[in-house]
Chain A
Amino acid sequence: MKLTVLVYSAPYSTEAAYSAYRFTASALAAGHEIYRLFFYYDGVHNSNASSAPPQDEFDLVKAWSELIKTHKLDAISCVSSALRRGVLDAQEAARYEKEAASLGSQFVLSGLGQLVDANAKSDRVMSFGA
């Protein structure tokens, strides 16, 4: 089946982002297609590549990036959620004259149209709320 996973939670705030990660990894392991990962509200912090947890801790941001890269997933961070929270790609950092871009290279900033499209084209959408 084609599944879309919608993530509302940041790492370290609630457990939901980690639940979403485990659900996604299990769906891929079972042979399902992940049509899109959509990170919304505080969920955009999952795409903040500047996150640097202690080395002996599970690194959720890194784990998402590796999962996305390995399976060539389409991972979208909501652009208006991300800009408010300081998760910018190079283009937005230049546009808003910010010192650094922090969006991970495996993620793309885009709008809610991508969520509407995912709802229409996926067999199932699973939300993980904060």
Chain B
Amino acid sequence: MSTLHTVNKTAADDALAACLKVASSGDSVLLIEDGVYQASKLAGNPQTRALKLFALREDADARGISLPATVTAIGYAQFVELACEHQRSVSWF
């Protein structure tokens, strides 16, 4: 059973760290809102090798964040698709 994790906080919060402690192979992590500030940190983390990484394009664009190659930019239509593809979701906030 795979899980979609959403993270909407900057590194000032421990939401992403808490997420990565429990995310397992086949899960997806989606950065939204201020979570997109952590895109580079997420991409460089060895704990994310078995995970699929995404960020909301409009939230990254609104903040002038360039996404690393391993973090896929998506829109809300794909966000909905991700929610449906995974059996459950956890929102880290």
38-88 of chain A: CB within 8 A of chain B: none
**Are A23 and B93 closer than 8 Å at their CB atoms?**
no
Distance of A3 Cα from B84 Cα, bound (Å): 9
**Given known A19-B8, A19-B32, A124-B84, contact A26–B77 (CB-CB < 8 A):** yes
8 Å CB contacts to B: which residues of A96-130?
123-130
In whole angstroms, how far apart are the Cα atoms of A128 and B56 in the complex? 14
Interface class of chain A by DSSP: mixed
A129-B8 in contact (CB<8A): yes
A127 touches B33 (CB 8 A): no
B91 touches A32 (CB 8 A): no
- Checking A19, A124, A129 against B83 with a beta-carbon cut-off of 8 angstroms, the contacting residue is A124
Q: A residues bordering B, Cβ < 8 Å?
A: 1, 3, 8, 14-16, 19, 22-23, 25-27, 29-30, 32, 123-130
